[in-house]
Structure 1
Amino acid sequence: MISFRRSSDIFKPDSGATAFFVSILVWGIGVGCFAATMNNFLSEIHDLNAVERGWLEFFREMPGLALVFILALLYRVSDWRIMRLGTIVSIIGVSLLMLPAGKFAVIGIIMIWSLGEHLVMPVRNAIAMQVARPENAGQSLGTLSGAMHFGHVLGSMMVAGVFWGSTRLLNITDRVVIYDSVWVMIFIMLAISLVCTFAPNAPTQASRRSRLYFRRKFWKFYALELFYGARKQIFMTFAPYVLIRVYGFDTATMALLLGVCATVNIFMAPLVGRLTDRIGYRRVMIYDTVILFFVCLLYGFAGELFAPALVVAVLCANFLLDSVISTSALATNLYAKIISDNQSELTSTLSTGISINHLISVLAAPLGGWVWSHYGVGVLFASAAVMAVFNSLFAMTIPKTDAGAQGNSSK
């Protein structure tokens, strides 16, 4: 993150930059708390099996799939107001989690939370560039990323502390009470984030909304987004659920593990970016999915390959490695940049990629749950490993590019 001494050189005066980044930091804490808690909540309180977890993810991703159309309807609304709207929607979602609810109601509630989260996602990038001086937009986006990652770390650590303190120090045995305390904590964080968005000098303009954009020259990019969407969904949905349902990871352990992953990625994400600049996006795509092949096999068969005393350590290391290599998705975006003719085309292409990504995510979640239920977790992750092989083979068809000149053109 940047130093405060240079903030006046990077951000426009009276732009609301300080309020915005405080809002993002606190928002990140709330989202980090939610992510660290949700899978254990679904397993412990509602006993969702693999099929039900897959279908929940289907509905959770629906707002992301519809996002481009929702933002089109809000084309006259400023980015700050959309961020407020998204925060309010998520506040409603987390508030409803405090009420007694069955499985179907919980799916609807999480869908409300997800709608708010997805509304905030694109506009926070736009606002980060609005509050920055034109020549420092990149640094502002970097600060945004750092604030989000740091917030996730704090949120995960707070959840670990709540569950450890509640069970070990206060001897609270009612898990619902502990989860409700986390929902209250998230409510407070999001309320603070919302208040920060009412900065008096906040820009009032609406950004140009990205549109769906299909061109033949981007077909390999679209295919890579399909691969990444399926890979992302399996990691987000089923990797944590394997640790929880098969190996018994409790909420405090999962929160601590997610916090470690977020901490490591604060430093690893820039290193992956520099590595991509050095060796080229094509090689990163290939090596990434080669590593992913072994990661998937460990998720599926660690219990059979390692002694019980080593399984937990192996799975934690595997989860961390999976989290790190997921940052290599930036290589796909760089490939799109190289073959785009201008910034407008790139922006629209990346927006289309997000929609494709969400489409395959929506389909992969229930399918993955069905495979787990009928054939076992080993077959699910073996299938993911095979998909990783095909991803590597497909990446090899992308034209080689001089890593040092990849910012200009491809060979």
Structure 2
Amino acid sequence: MAQYITLEQAKDLPFWRRPVALLFLMALAMPIAFNTWSALLNNFVIEVADFDGADIGLLHTVREIPGFLAVGVIAIIIFVREQVLGLVSLVLLGVATAVTAWFPSMGGILTITMLSSIGFHYYETVNQSLQLQWLKIEDAPRMLGWLLAAGSFATLIAYLAIMALWETLSLSYNVVYLAGGGVTVVIALFAMLAYPQFEAPTPQNKTMVLRRRYWLYYALQFMGGARRQIFVVFAGFMMVERFGYEVHEITTLYLINLVANIIFAPLMGRAVGYFGERRTLGFEYIGLVLVFLSYGGVYYLGWGVVVAAILYVLDHMFFGLALAMKTYFQKIADPADIAPTAAVAFTINHIAAVFLPVGLGLLWLVSPAAVFFLAAGMAGISFCLAMLIPRHPAPGNETIFSAGYPQAAQ
């Protein structure tokens, strides 16, 4: 029988069995499977299934459908605890990743991608909810930065193994996928057995929550999801298609991103705590405008592979500042709204993701630079939205238009 304890009672447990330790364990487990899949994906689909830009767009549209349906988490948590659902989702992600190479056809790749995506998106939805419920508001920016760094460290180990052993041992896609997915499954099963069920202080609403006062958070999520698709789908694909990057070279690029995250993610968390969400997100979006415009320059001006690689690393680092959206919502939310709003926000985040990759995949065939110029415009809109966040967000002071803004801004 599962053991249920409150967060206050959990303080008496050994440190490794406390809620924060479980968050770190899950932060280590998920990226191993997901980023192993991502690191090999572009080379795998091009070499095995002869994908072009339109095909990769279709694949990522399929991958994002479960994110669009993440609102279904609200129905599931009526019957299944969030903590259990998160770990079961990790198992599904790991298993689907492990068997990816067993299905080398277009239909097989799309099917297994759908399954792994269900695991990934349902895990991410629940994980965001648990983070905001289990972490204190004053500690959240710093801890979220460290959680991001922990995930990067786990992925770093996986990428180092791929980079060192891919050519040396002539590894196959099957071996690497089995190893990456298998490790995630083992960690998730251990967490199911080793940790009690933690009770958050505030019972969560188990119905869909759409509140007018959260509109800015919803808008930021929508724009973030649309903009993120261009990076996830096309930035790495550009490195393979235009510059002929091989698996170990793509992995090296990811490796640099991870080292940067390990070093800078905790600093990003501190920056959010010190400068506030408005300034931090504004800095992120201005940086992304410049990066995406420069991506276009890679095509129009003929800039070389070194410039493209530098832009890729900067792009990845700027996205790390998006943790400020989590802390912004934590500050303005009714504590009982965290779980259902996490699900709704994930669905909003993926509205554009369902149709954007396919449409932009077709645009890519005509003008890759236009895809990145469109992303720069999206980042500009996000900057305008970020400027609507008050200096001190709180319930009743959600935007600069809220009644409490003049007092809170002083």
Question: Is TM-score (shorter-chain normalized) higher than 0.5?
Answer: yes
- Aligned-residue offset at 1:134: 12
Give the partner amino acid of 1:180.
Answer: N
CA 1:381–1:126 in structure 2 vs 1: closer, same or farther (change >3 Å)? closer
User: What secondary structure is seen at the aligned counterpart in 2 of 1:48?
Assistant: coil
Which residue matches 1:116? 119
Name whichever of 272-281 and 49-58 sits farther off: 272-281
The answer to whether the aligner puts 1:327 opposite 2:323 as a matched pair is no
Task: Give the Å deviation of 1:19.
Answer: 7.3
Helix, strand or coil at the partner of 2:210: coil
Match of 2:90 in 1: 87
Distance 2:35 2:377 in 1: 31
Q: Which amino acid aligns with 1:164?
A: E
Following superposition, the deviation at residue 139 of structure 1 comes to 7.5
Q: Which residue of 1 aligns with 2:162?
A: 159
Structure 2: 5+ residue runs without aligned partners? 1-8, 399-403
User: Displacement, 1:198?
Assistant: 3.7
1:392 matched residue in structure 2: 383
Unaligned residue ranges in structure 1 (runs of 5+) = 1-8, 167-171
CA contact (8 A) 2:63 2:113 kept: yes
**Structure 2 CA distance for partners of 1:133 and 1:319, relative to 1, 3 Å:** closer
Counterpart of 1:183, as a letter, is Y
TM-score (norm 2): 0.81
2-side partners of 1:330 and 1:36: how far apart?
23
Cα distance, 1:182–1:298 mapped onto 2, change above 3 Å: same
| Structure 1 residues 32 and 350: CA distance shift in structure 2, 3 A | same
1:5-404 aligned within 5 A: 11-13=11-13, 16-17=17-18, 21-22=24-25, 24-124=27-127, 144-166=147-169, 172=170, 178-203=172-197, 208=204, 211-305=207-301, 311-340=304-333, 342-345=334-337, 348-373=340-365, 375-396=366-387, 398=388, 401=391
Q: Aligned to 1:75, what secondary structure does the other structure show? A: coil
How far has the Cα of 1:87 moved from its partner? Answer: 3.2
The secondary structure found in structure 2 opposite 1:197 is: helix
Preserved CA contact (<8 Å) 1:296 1:384: yes
1:368 to partner: Cα distance: 1.4
SS in 2 for 1:383: helix
Q: In 2, Cα distance between the equivalents of 1:125 and 1:336?
A: 11
Count how many residue pairs are aligned between Structure 1 and Structure 2: 386
The residue aligned with 1:4 is none
**Alpha-carbon distance in 1 for matches of 2:323, 2:125:** 16
Larger CA deviation: 143-152 vs 345-354: 345-354
3-state SS of paired residue (2:193): coil
Q: Which of 52-61 and 113-122 deviates more?
A: 113-122
Which letter maps to 2:196?
A
Q: Partner letter of residue 401 of structure 1? A: R
Distance 1:98 1:214, change over 3 A: same
RMSD in angstroms over aligned alpha carbons? 3.4
TM-score in terms of structure 1 length:
0.81
The amino acid of 1:319's aligned partner reads: Y
Report the Cα distance in structure 2 between the residues aligned to 1:20 and 1:339, rounded to whole angstroms: 23
Q: Is the Cα–Cα contact under 8 Å of residues 68 and 211 in structure 1 kept in the other structure? A: no
Contact 2:141-2:327 within 8 A present in 1 as well: no
How far apart, CA to CA, are the structure 1 residues paired with 2:205 and 2:152? 25
Query: Quick one: which amino acid aligns to residue 55 of structure 1?
Result: L
Q: Any idea what the Cα deviations from partners look like across 1:155-197, whole Å, max 9, x if unmatched? A: 222222232324xxxxx4xxxx611111121243133213312
1:36 Cα deviation after fit = 1.5
1:222 to 1:271, Cα distance in 2 relative to 1, 3 A: same
Distance 1:127 1:42, change over 3 A: same
One-letter amino acid of the counterpart of residue 250, structure 2:
M
- Residue of structure 1 in register with 2:4 after alignment: none
User: What's the offset of the Cα at 1:52?
Assistant: 1.4
Report % sequence identity: 23
SS at match of 1:98: helix
Judging changes above 3 Å, is the alpha-carbon distance between structure 1 residues 28 and 112 closer, same or farther for their aligned structure 2 residues? same
- Between 206-215 and 353-362, the greater mean CA deviation after superposition: 206-215
Give the AA of the match of 1:355.
T
